[in-house]
Chains A and B, each alone.
Chain A
Amino acid sequence: MDTGFEEKSAWIQLVTLTVVVGGYFLVASQMHAAGVQDIRAYVPVFTVSVIALIIVMIFGHIAAVAITRNDDRDERDKVIAWRSEYLSSWIVGVGVLAGITAMVLGIDTVLVAHGLLLSLLVSELLSSSLKIVFYRRGF
C-alpha cells in the first residue's frame, strides 16, 4: 500500500484506539454489569489503558517513520487533517452537552463519565476513518 506517514498515522490511531480503548469499554461494561458503581474503581483499568495507548502509539509511529521515506507534512496532509477534524469534532460537543444534561438529570456518574469518554473515542475514530477515506479516495 502506497501511503505517506500521515496516512499510516491515521491507521495506527484507528487500530490502536479500537483495540485499546474498545478493550477498556469491554472491561468497564462488564464491571458495570457486575454492579460496580464507584467511579474510582474504574481508574486503575483506565490508567492501564491510557499507558498502553501511549506506548502502542509511540512504537507504532516509530515504526511508521522507519518505513516511510519522507515524513514531511505537506498542504494535502494539512487540508485532510483539517477536514476530518472539522467533520468529527461535533461529536465531542454533543457528548459534553449530553453529559451535562445527564448530570442535571441525576444519571449514574459512571455512565456519564463513560458517555463523555465514548464521545471522545467516537470522534477520534471518525476523524481517523475520514483521513483514511480522504487519502484513499480523494476529495
Chain B
Amino acid sequence: MRAVEVSPGTVLGPLRKTITQQKITRYAGASGDHNPLHLDQDFAAATQFGGTIAHGMLLLAYLSEMLTAAFGSRWLETGRLKVRFRGPARPGDTIIVKGLVKAINDPTTVTASVECRNQVGDILINGEAEVTNSRGLP
C-alpha cells in the first residue's frame, strides 16, 4: 500500500462499509462494549433511536482505515484526530467515509476534514485529522 500524494483540495477516500447487526455484535465481542443500545432490539426500540445502532468506535475504526489508506504509516505513527459523533449508524446503513485536505503547513503537517455519512447523506461523524511527516515531504 502506498500513501496518496496530497495537496489542498485532495479528496481522501471514499471508503464504503455496510453496517449489519452481525458486525455490531462482533464488534461488541471484541471491544467488550455490550451496551444494550447496540445489542438488545427491545431495549433499543424503546429509545430515541427506535432500534439498535452501531458503536461509535466501529465507525471510528472505519475512519482510521480510510486515513491509513490515505496517509500510510504517517497516520499510524503521527496521526491526530478530533471528531464529534453527530448521528447513529443503523443495521442496513451504508457508511461513506472520506476526507478533504484543507492545508499543508510548516510544511510537514497535513490537515484534513474528515467525515462519515450514511447512504442518504446524514453526517454521522465529522471533525479534523492531522498527520506530520518527519522527512519533510507532505
A binds B: no
B residues lining the A interface (CB < 8 Å) = none
